[in-house]
Amino acid sequence: MEMASSAKWFAVALVFITVILLRVIRGRRMAAAPASEKPPPPVVNGFALLGLLPRLLTMDLRTKINCLHDKYGSVFTVSPFGLTNVTFLIGPEVQSHFFQGLESEINHGNLLEFLVPMFGQEIGQGVDAATRTEQSRFYLDALKQSKLRRHLDPMLQEVESYFGKWGLEGVVDLKHEFEELLMLISSRCLLGKEVREKMFDEFYKLFRDVENGVNMISVFFPYIPIPANRRRDKARLKLIELLSGTVRSRKSSPSVEEDVLQRLIDSKYKDGRSTTETEVTGMIIALIFGGKHTSSLASTWTGACLLTHPKFLAAASQEQKEIMMKYKDKIEYDALLEMNTLHNCIKEALRLNPPTTMLVRKALKHFTVRTRQGQEYGIPKGHTLASPIIQNNYLPYIYKDPEVYDPDRFGPVRQEDIVGGKFSYTSFGGGRHFCSGDAYAYMQVKVIWSHLLNNFDLKLLSPYPKTDWSKLIPEPQGNMMVSYKRRQLLG
């Protein structure tokens, strides 16, 4: 199994090199940057990679990066035979410019071009930087914490209805259950009651076709007419048609709904222009894509960790008893804010299993980094920059026993992520690029696990899941079978 997974990543590496060759031939390489006063980072060239290949082929992705980190330090450039330059930045000390730099200095470039056929030419990577910044403001406004209270009751209704269909006892694949539940919550809170009540099944099917358009081939060749990409394109057009009717109806209606779709419809650009139907549709598809999958995986990994660590399961359950007593068995928004133990359990699960393996940017201007040891390197313009979350979240000088699931590390006594520096914990990004939906994601996962802890005794029947590194977004491998026994009947 290990060799099969490694072979997949080796194949991915070959595809990546092929893509770079094609882009060189097409003249898409950026011009070389002028020399810097500071020395460049150490380079892992093609011949060095070939020397390491026997070891790298037997490792998973995080161990591969750790191997290079141990050998070359916290800043190094991977340059396979001079075809491209990918500079890795490991540790909070060298992350400041990566997360705080201006769009004119560091941005995604064309690295996220594969998202354009998913969300459309009217949003995100399909528009200029200024428009993209304004659209990010729309997201922030729609999901800011002051408006999250309005989502609690719909979330609770979906969660209680879903688990209300479970029997007195049984066995389920918790991974599958969370995928379905999070899609229901997303359709209710993000899209609104029209889609949830009248067209959910159709929306879900179309969205799955768009979602399945994310694969290793489409990342490098987003427009190649493979079956998955053709299904993605057809599904997106049908989604636009489906949602445009709802947007059009909302725009002409005097009533105002309390959901994210309405916020995006009401958003205006600085010049006074309102968002268009196509823009709103693209933004809502992007939100669901980013949020539903992340929250589903966060719920699954939290379950895997809690159900294999009785100490923290007991602590989270005890916290629920105390909070439910205080709030008279009602989950209120303020109650969620007091669930510090559960919050830390989720946060620690995401430290060990972040939503993505690494974040990437493109350096548009030269800049300098200073390592923890005091070494300064000049990072040239044109380099692709990689911040490997799966390595940063395991640094032993920040996190004590980093391989161990220990939510107490985030408690008031230790606060390892704060003591370690501003960018020690980047599972949700950081700085200018901090995920606008992090509070919304925590809220969803807390509502789900609060309900489960208060109503069911759960036992993990499957082994603790391994990470499926073959997926673009790493996820638990296989099923996660759990037995449940209801403690009390829902009223």
Bind-site residues: 435
Cα 54 to chain centroid distance, Å, stands at: 31
- Give strand pairing partners of 21: none
239 vs 283: CA distance, rounded Å? 12
Distance CA 95, CA 87 (A): 12
Give the count of beta carbons closer than 10 Å to the beta carbon of residue 337. Answer: 13
411-424 exposure pattern, b = at least 16 Cβ within 10 A, e = fewer = eeeeebbeebebbb
Beta bridge partners of 359: 387
For residue 238 the two structure tokens come to 């049908």
Annotated binding site for heme: 435
Distance CA 35, CA 391 (A): 29
User: Contact, 425 vs 432, CB < 8 A?
Assistant: no
CA torsion through residues 233, 235, 241, 247, sign = negative
Distances from the Cα of 285 to the Cαs of 265, 288, 311, 471, in angstroms? 14, 5, 39, 20
Q: 20 near 84, Cβ under 8 Å?
A: yes
